[in-house]
Structure 1
């Protein structure tokens, strides 16, 4: 893994967890305006997920690192993202762009976190698509850290 400093999120929580992982996936943006990105191509995406909370679970974790990786890696690694139910070929707000992939990762992680007793929050997803291009998704300010 690349050791890297990520933009930080100001938050009121006592604990902050960051999980780095990567996954290889293909995608295309089904819009002529996307230029070359409208053709199927692949990336090795690098993600960092930031989770924060005040309460630890019964094992002393905010959340188990391996569960966060499993949620995303097992779902998206070596897939065509366009085929996943989270993305839609006819709705630009659900095309598999880096921005929307990052938002989707946040939503999937938060859905899981909402089922836990300590209910931490996914407060940032950093998603690198290429060595020179990345996006950051954070839940909207004032929305109680919901994605």
Structure 2
């Protein structure tokens, strides 16, 4: 795993955890302005998920790292992102499988899980590195969590 310091989010929560994941996946961008990215190609994505909260659960976790891995890694690793039609679309730009959209979708999946937890942690940001020189950060607007 890449050792990296990620941009941090200012918050007032007592606990913050970060989970790093590595995902090997392919995609293509279904738009004529995407250039060579219109062709199927793959990346080794590096993902960092930042979760914060004030209460630990009954097992002493803010959120179980294993559950975050299951939600994200198990869904995306070794896949063609475009095939996941529940999340991505070939017709709506807001749902093309770009890095920006993927970071938002990861946030949405994680936050949906966090909403089910009694201690109610929140996802503050998703950092998604597509290549060694390019990354995206998704942070929800205030009040969206």
* TM-score normalised according to structure 1 size: 0.96
Match of 1:81 in 2: 81
Match of 1:115 in 2: 116
In 2, distance between residues paired with 1:66 and 1:2? 19
Match of 1:43 in 2: 43
After TM superposition, give the deviation of residue 143 of structure 1 in Å. 1.3
In 1, distance between residues paired with 2:22 and 2:7? 18
The number of equivalent residue pairs is 144
Three-state SS of the structure 2 residue aligned to 1:100 is helix
After TM superposition, give the deviation of residue 2 of structure 1 in Å. 1.3
* TM-score normalised according to structure 2 size: 0.98
Question: Which structure 1 residue ranges, 5 or more long, are not aligned?
Answer: none
Question: Which structure 2 residue ranges, 5 or more long, are not aligned?
Answer: none
Match of 2:58 in 1: 58
After TM superposition, give the deviation of residue 12 of structure 1 in Å. 1.4
In 2, distance between residues paired with 1:116 and 1:143? 18
In 1, distance between residues paired with 2:94 and 2:10? 27
CA RMSD of aligned residues (A): 0.7
After TM superposition, give the deviation of residue 101 of structure 1 in Å. 0.1
Match of 1:30 in 2: 30
Structure 1 outlier segments of 4+, above 4 Å: none
